[in-house]
Amino acid sequence: MKSITIKASKRESVGKVSTKALRNAGRVPCVLYGGGEPLHFSAPELDFSKLVYTPNAHTVVIEFEGGNKLNAILQDIQFHPVSDKILHVDFYSLSDDKEISMNIPVKIEGAAPGVLNSGGVLRLNKRKLRVRALPKDLPDYIIANISKLRLGNKLYTSELQTESYTILHPDNTVVCQVRSSRTSVKDADIEEDDTTAEEVATVSSDAAQENAPEAQAEAPQE
Cα–Cα dist 141/166, whole Å:
13
Residues 36 and 116 in one domain: no
Cα–Cα dist 214/68, whole Å:
105
Residue in 73, 44, 46 with CA at minimum distance from that of residue 57: 73
Residues 8 and 82 in one domain: yes
Cα–Cα dist 7/162, whole Å:
35
Residues 88 and 116 in one domain: no
Residues 115 and 78 in one domain: no
CA dihedral 20, 24, 27, 33 (to 10 degrees): 10
Percentage of residues in the chain with pLDDT exceeding 70?
82
Instruction: Give the CATH number of the domain where residue 166 resides.
Output: 2.170.120.20
Q: What is the pTM of this model?
A: 0.74
Residue in 139, 148, 146, 95 with CA at minimum distance from that of residue 122: 146
- Examine residue 187 and state whether it is found in any structural domain, yes or no: no
Residues 81 and 107 in one domain: no
Tens-place pLDDT, residues 33-79: 987 889 999 999 999 988 888 888 999 999 998 889 999 999 999 99
Query: Which helix (H) or strand (E) covers residue 7, if one does?
Result: strand 3-10
- Examine residue 211 and state whether it is found in any structural domain, yes or no: no
Phi, psi of 146 (to 5 degrees): -110, 15
Mean pLDDT over the full length of the chain: 84
Show the domain range for 131: 100-182
Instruction: Give the CATH number of the domain where residue 12 resides.
Output: 2.40.240.10
CA dihedral 94, 126, 45, 12 (to 10 degrees): -40
Q: How many helices (H) and strands (E) does the chain have?
A: 4, 13
Residues 14 and 73 in one domain: yes
Residues 9 and 65 in one domain: yes
Residues 7 and 78 in one domain: yes
Residues 75 and 114 in one domain: no
- Examine residue 167 and state whether it is found in any structural domain, yes or no: yes
Residues 50 and 23 in one domain: yes
CA dihedral 36, 38, 42, 47 (to 10 degrees): 60
- How many structural domains is the chain composed of? 2
With 0-12 / 13-18 / 19 or more C-beta atoms within 10 angstroms meaning exposed / middle / buried, residue 215 is exposed
Tens-place pLDDT, residues 184-219: 545 444 444 554 445 544 444 454 455 544 434 344
Residue in 98, 92, 76, 104 with CA at minimum distance from that of residue 32: 92
Residues 57 and 122 in one domain: no
Residues 72 and 142 in one domain: no
CA 186 vs. chain centroid, Å, equals 29
State the average pLDDT over residues 111-121.
Answer: 93
